[in-house]
Amino acid sequence: MKNSLTLTSSTLALLVLACQPKTRTKVVEVPQKDKVYNFTKESYGEPVLVPVYDPACNSQRGLGLSNGIIEDAYMGIENLSVKTFIGEEVLDADTEKYINRQTYETEVIDPGRPVVLCRDASIIPANTQEGAAIAMKADVDQAFALYEAVKDPGTLVLPRLERVTLNAAQLEKQVTRVVNKSEEATEYTSHMTDNAIFMRGERPTLISFPQSEESKQAKLLGGVPLWNVDGVFQHEFGHFIFDSIMNDGNMPFVSYQKYAAQNPDLHLFHTPSSSLKRIVETPALKAGFQDFVRSQDFFVGSLNEGFADLWAYYTLKQPADMFNISCFAQNRNVAAGAFYNGVSKSWDETLWKKTFQTEIETDLAITAEDPVEECSQPIFSDIHIIGAAMAHTADAVFSAAAQTHSTMDTSRLKAEMSLVWLKSLKVSEEFQDLGGKASLSRILNTAVGTGISYLKGADKTRFCAVVSSKFPVLVKRWKDARTDNEDVSGVVSFCSL
């Protein structure tokens, strides 16, 4: 956890005057004749005010944070998003399926202003607009440096990353309107808090959101805003890398493009249980969620989250206690072999059943008087939890393969393996035709195959022991004649399983 924020004199020397922000409004709507609904309102979650440290700096010629991979950094941005779900179905032209009619609109309330520093960065408090931006920049620079270190040797062809924008402590009010088939309507108003997000598109953006009053009082997430937690924005930068690789070249990864287009808000650092509860309580939302869970899209999303966790882990040099804050300490720690509730992250019968058979209501029904205890419970319908299992088990085989390269920096080598894993999946032309279980199998089989490619004739005894212990259910599938086409990496033959 960060106690102070500093920029070195050499970094400050590179800073340039910031420019004015660009804004845009996106509207996606299914046409329907106008109706007027009487909305019942319900609100929850209030953001903690994040002050500007040096208001006078706005009228001075301060230094901006635009250099290196950072194109711009802004503060004071305020948005309003309105999602309307209507309890009647229309035919979706893209999927040729009937879906619940919905509209989505965003409005920029305040475009904010560029972050500029007129005083020594080392004295700026962490919980200020400027402090949030400085912390985000330091984490992003670190994650980018690892990418460049992997890219430099030229052994792996990687895309040149675009520059990214940082939005610090952004205020975002979210209104969800739900209309049932009887045309009774409810409006839920909330603020985006206690989270971080990567927004893909023409202008890749990393956003931090304020802490909530509720989280601050209950000491959730360590009791601090997430920009003060090591690994959060290294993770979000991992999403940016994932997006860049999957869209690179003339043959983008079709399965990822489909997932990203249909799930634009699934790059959050975590899924609050309150959001999942709202989904299961609202039929119009629940129907779409049930279609998503355990589909190929769900596992592509889980892979995205797992890779982002790995990128944070390798950027931070594989700490034993990554995300060592309440609600995350065990579930999202790559080094931890089990979730908070004791369920193993290895792909055994228990985890397989949790992944494919557990109803979300079952996980959400686990309550506790202590809010920290309750928020720590893993929800197996959440892409972040399944992604955490992917990250832990992929790292296990990468670690076993890395043992044969004792003279190399392990974090850098395993970061390279994680990128090879993604690129191998991307060129798998038939992936888009796989179902949910086969998609998960292919993702994990490719991780093992990546490890095999790095052994290069070295003794495979320890490596194959790791495969057997971390993927027991998958090994059975890969050996089964009915699913033997899933072992595209030849794991069974290589390890004589």
- Specify if 435 maps to a domain: no
Query: How many CA atoms are closer than 13 Å to the CA of 271, on its beta-carbon side?
Result: 24
Tens digit of each residue's pLDDT (9 = 90 or more) over 168-214: 999 999 888 887 777 777 888 888 899 999 998 889 999 999 999 98
Residue 332's domain comprises 9-388
User: Alpha-carbon Rg of the chain, whole angstroms?
Assistant: 23
Token pair in block for residue 311: 């990128």
Tens of pLDDT, residue by residue over 35-73, are: 555 556 555 568 999 999 999 887 777 788 999 999 999
List the structure tokens of 334.
Answer: 């790559």
Q: Measured between alpha carbons, how far is 69 from 419 in angstroms, rounded to an integer? A: 19
Which pLDDT score is estimated for 96? Answer: 63
348 domain residue, yes or no: yes
In a domain, 281, yes or no: yes
- Give phi and psi for 444, each to the nearest 5: -75, -35
Nearest-angstrom CA–CA distance, 276 and 285? 10
In a domain, 107, yes or no: yes
Q: Which residues of the chain have pLDDT under 70?
A: 1-45, 87-101, 154, 250-252, 259, 262-266, 284
| CA-based nearest residue to 70, from 168, 177, 211, 1 | 168
> What gap in Å lies between CA 209 and CA 268, rounded to an integer?
11
Q: What is the pLDDT of residue 284?
A: 66
Largest CA distance in the chain: 71
Residue 490, phi then psi, degrees to nearest 5 = 70, 35
Number of domains in the chain: 1
Letter for the amino acid at 282? T
Q: How far apart are CA 385 and CA 351, in angstroms?
A: 11
Residue 454 is assigned to a structural domain of this protein: no
What pLDDT is stored for residue 331 in this prediction? 95
Residue 174 to residue 335: CA distance in whole angstroms: 35
Measure Cα distances from 246 to 205, 239, 292, 325, 367 in Å: 17, 11, 20, 31, 38
In-domain check, residue 494: no
Q: Where are the beta strands (DSSP E) in 39-195?
A: 39-44, 63-64, 70-75, 78-92, 97-110, 113-114, 116-117, 164-168, 171-179, 185-191
**Residue 353 placed within a domain:** yes
Residue 315: inside a domain: yes
pLDDT at position 260 is 72
Q: What is the pLDDT of residue 25?
A: 32
pLDDT, position 424:
93
Give the model's pLDDT for residue 155.
72
DSSP classification of residue 484:
G
What are the beta bridge partners of residue 114?
74
Nearest to 159 by CA among 101, 96, 243, 258: 243
* Residues whose CB is less than 8 angstroms from the CB of residue 408 and which lie 6 or more positions away in sequence, other chains included: 402
Looking at residue 334, its amino acid is V
Round to whole Å and give the CA distance between 468 and 471: 6
User: What is the predicted pLDDT for the residue at 444?
Assistant: 98
Strands 39-44 and 113-114 turn out to be unpaired
- Residue 29, number of CB atoms within 10 A of its CB: 11
196 membership: H or E segment, kind and range: strand 196-199
